A = this chain, B = another copy of it.
Amino acid sequence: MEKAAIGIDLGGTNLKGIIMNDKGQGRHLTRVPTEAEKGGAHVLENILVLIEKLIAQEGSKDHISGVGIGTPGFVDDDGTVLGGAENLPGWKGTQIYKPILEKFGLKAIAANDVTVAALAEAKYGAGKGVRNSVCFALGTGIGGGIVIENHLYKGTHGMAGELGHIVVETNGIPCNCGQKGCVERYASATGIVNLAKKLSAEKKGKDETQFTKEVNGNPSAVTSKMVYDFVKKSDPVAMNVNEIACDMLARAVGITLNALSPDRVILGGGVMMAGQVIIDTVSKYTPRYCWPAIWERCEIVIAQLGEDAGVLGSGAMVFEELAIIC
């Protein structure tokens, strides 16, 4: 039977799993609740339940090379969660690999969820066909993932790819990480929404646009989607928000280009529902922030796999790191 992998995406609300082949084709997509509030040991128990369900649907586990898991935070080489997963209380310190090996006889491999999504995009999505790519996932924050010579680069302790904390403005907006001016303060959904509120408040009572009226009327309802709906309508203030956010993102992209000279930069995450306008605006600003010779050899593209990137990347790790030795 064709070699297969189990890919699991650990979210704050749901655990998602599939069985897939090394071409990135999945089956038996299954969800179980994460129940994060019940603590790390319980989350691990739910992962075992999910693996059991997937194997049951598959009918056999003999051809399964291992279990890949994408999780918030960092995972050390031995499968211990090192931290960085604040929405999963008690998850830090959990040993992931051993219980899976003991219960199912399957090796496991885990990594940061955004990092894993970057691997999926590199192998099956927007990075297919090139050797080196970098992902920025624009969500509530900004996550990152680096694929070097077709392999996921995790760093020795699974911590590489924190691209959201590249400082792009000296003494800029304070970030939860302790720095000021991190790119995620400007170009994440949170950053875009805050910028929209700030620019709209400045227009209050003068030069209001339809966008600023809506924002000022109900600031708590503003989303990045709303901002980009108004960008489509050419609202000047919404367009200005886009320009500033994309300029800031371009600074981080430029730094990443100078350091890694990737063939592609892949932009994903919820904010990228806005699509091409972000690609175009970031591509306009990026040449200001990197070497021309590097920029000429790189393109900025939209992620293609959407919410499936997590499970597919987790499964891809199995083929990359476990399949041969199993």
A-to-B contact residues, CB < 8 Å: 74, 82-84, 130-132, 144, 146, 148-149, 151, 153, 155-157, 159-163, 165-170, 172, 177-179, 181, 251, 254-256, 258-263, 288-291, 293-294, 297
Contact = CB atoms under 8 A, between A and B. Distances in A.
> Which 9 residue pairs spanning A and B have beta carbons closest together?
A155-B261, A159-B261, A162-B258, A160-B261, A170-B170, A165-B258, A159-B294, A157-B297, A156-B263
B177 A156 contact: no
Number of identical monomers bound together in the oligomeric complex: 2
B167 A259 contact: no
B82 A179 contact: no
Contacts of A260: 146, 153, 155, 160, 259
B293 A82 contact: yes
Contacts of A161: 259, 261
Highest count of chain B CB atoms <10 Å: which of A132, A144, A181, A258: A258
Contacts of A166: 255, 258-259
9 contacts: A82-B293, A132-B155, A149-B153, A160-B261, A162-B291, A166-B258, A177-B291, A179-B289, A259-B260
Contact of A178 (B148, B170, B262, B288): B288
Highest count of chain B CB atoms <10 Å: which of A82, A144, A261, A290: A261
A236 to B, nearest CB: 25
Nearest to A154: B261
Nearest to A74: B293
Highest count of chain B CB atoms <10 Å: which of A162, A169, A263: A162
